[in-house]
Amino acid sequence: MTSLEHAVPNRKMPVLKVDALQKAIFNNPNFSYVATDLLGVIQIFNVGAESMLGYRAVDVINKITPDSLADPDELIARATALSLELGTSIAPGLDALIYKASRGIEDIVELTYIRPDGTRFPAIVSVTALRDEHEELIGYLFIGTDNTARKQVEIALAQKHIELESARETADKANLAKSEFLSNMSHELRTPLNAVLGFAQLMETATPLPSPAQKVSIEQILKGGWYLLRLINEILDLALIESGKLMIVRESVDLSEILLDCQVMIIPLAEESAITIHFPKDTSPFYIDADKTRIKQVMINLLSNAIKYNRPGGKVTVSCAITQERLLRVIVADTGLGLAPELLEQLFQPFNRLGHEAGSTEGTGIGLVVTKQLVELMGGVIGVHSEVGVGSSFWFELPIAAAVVSDDSDTASSVHSLRDSVDAARRTLLYVEDNAANLSLVEQLIERRSDLKLLIATDGLSGLRVAREQLPDLILMDINLPIMSGLEAMRILKASPETAHIPIMALSANAIPHDVELGLKAGFFRYLTKPIRINEFMAALDVALDFIDEGAAS
């Protein structure tokens, strides 16, 4: 039994004459069949051709060639393209249609036909050579189908593509404008805050120390200033997350170190609110896959809320556990008033403070929104369990990471011993800054150091001149400078053999993570942001001086 017999067992096939099949095919109204003689004159013009092209067979047979029915401009363009492709001259008209077929190559052509009434329609036409039993060429066969529906789809898709490209360009421009706006806003808000917080810190640590009354006033300035900075950061973070511009750098992070840092930072707030706070007693390293800066931000946000919304004399407990899915879960539990189920559903909505708007507790209702989105950007999940009258437990889970072997302590000790052994001669620091308040602040900070002498330039160009003339040991550079930006000035100094060795630290109010990343990639030794935190600022200077001493000793 043949495979065909197996496919249709015991089925009685109707007997069709070949002539009937040929006639059915030839008279199919959906396909035009046009056959010509060797000279290209039409000899056969079927029902489908009459229907599609609008001509009667009697009007075209033995009278015209198929190219007479097509758009002449397209035939000229086709002849030109074929001439370039084949390196020979092809005449427009019939030759442009039958050239390949006459050489035994089946050709498929896209044509626009023109009907007698002037209407036009696109078609796909297959052109093949017709040969007799002796393989002698006797004519050509043109099989055509109406391509209107396909062309309409292509046009619609092309239009949609244009619309999508336009929408993408508009979105890209909007995102760029938003990024520039956020960067400018960050700079404009941080610049005056740098003066407020910087000089308040100077007053707080001045000699002689401020009086008790002055100390209380300074503490209020600092408290309000740092709170305002935190609000600015939260708003900018939320905007960056929503625009997809927030940079997340995931690495293996020791959470135990993060918790120790957070403990130091949060205890003063807990003591001020008479809240007892408990951290895990086991301080052995355990690693998670996260962004070190952002995980610290998550912890501080959760701890701050646990303290702010606790009851007087309440308790906050931080604990950690490994889940069955091999994730590390961190829990921050408080003994506050707790939240009803209907409030939990609104918990992570921006600017929703769940009824605390009229209370005395500070907040905007965006801290938890940012916290949730940061956790999710790091590949984790966050949740909460709360019971009215008992308290709330916020938790997040992040993937466990492999431990990282580090020899930072050995490096630090060797650097410090090296610095102790070199000459502690007074180093020169060039500060390039155009804001008078910022200049005065840094000037007063450097006055507290016996190991540094300060030089000043107030624009990028004069900064270049002073650097080349004085060859300072260290340069502190603002970014937004008159005449020439700090980035451009830094690149010029790094490109010059005379100044390439000088460490250049950025000190800028451009504090969006993207700005910081660009600055570090461009070549800044460190990137400090305003407002200045005096301890961090002094520590950064020490790191730079250690680097200089290490280079001098090598």
CATH architecture for the domain at 248-399: 2-Layer Sandwich (3.30)
**What pTM did the predictor assign?**
0.51
**For residue 523, which of 537, 540, 506 has the smallest C-alpha distance?**
506
Query: Is residue 421's pLDDT more than 50?
Result: no
Model confidence pLDDT, tens digit, residues 326-378? 899 999 999 998 888 877 777 776 545 454 444 445 545 577 888 898 999 99
pLDDT in tens, 534-554: 989 999 999 999 998 887 766
AA identity, residue 267: I
Domain map of the chain by residue range?
3-146, 159-241, 248-399, 408-553
Identify the architecture of domain 3-146 in CATH.
2-Layer Sandwich (3.30)
Structure confidence at residue 16 (pLDDT): 52
- Domain 159-241: CATH architecture, name and number where available: Orthogonal Bundle (1.10)
CB 470 within 8 A of CB 438: no
Mean pLDDT within 197-215? 89
| Structure confidence at residue 521 (pLDDT) | 92
- Is pLDDT of 397 > 90? yes
28 φ/ψ angles, rounded to the nearest 5 degrees: -65, 125
pLDDT of the residue at 17: 64
Task: Give the end-to-end CA distance of the chain in Å, rounded to a whole number.
Answer: 91
Provide the pLDDT confidence category of residue 516 given band limits of 50, 70 and 90: confident
295-299 contacts at long range (C-beta below 8 A, 24 or more positions apart): 295/253, 295/255, 295/258, 295/378, 295/398, 296/258, 296/261, 296/262, 297/370, 297/371, 297/374, 298/371, 298/374, 298/375, 298/396, 299/258, 299/259, 299/262, 299/330, 299/332
Burial class (CB in 10 A: 0-12, 13-18, 19+), 17: exposed
Q: With 50 as the cut, is the pLDDT of residue 7 above it?
A: no
- Which CATH fold would you assign to the domain 408-553? Rossmann fold (3.40.50)
Q: Which of 151, 96, 97, 92 is nearest to 123 (CA)?
A: 151
Closest CA relative to residue 236, chosen from 378, 366, 382, 365: 366
Q: What pLDDT does 179 receive?
A: 66
Burial class (CB in 10 A: 0-12, 13-18, 19+), 524: buried
pLDDT, tens digit, 9 for 90 and up, residues 294-322: 898 899 889 988 998 899 899 999 999 88
Name the average pLDDT for the chain: 84
- Residue 493 pLDDT greater than 90, yes or no: yes
Q: Model confidence over 225-245: pLDDT tens digits?
A: 887 887 777 777 777 777 676
What mean pLDDT do residues 483-492 have? 93
Q: Strand ranges (DSSP E) for 38-164? A: 42-45, 107-114, 120-131, 137-146
Average pLDDT, stretch 145-161?
87
Distance of CA 24 to the CA centre of its chain: 61
Those residues whose C-beta lies under 8 Å from the C-beta of residue 118, and which sit 6 or more positions away, are: none
Same fold, 3-146 and 248-399: no
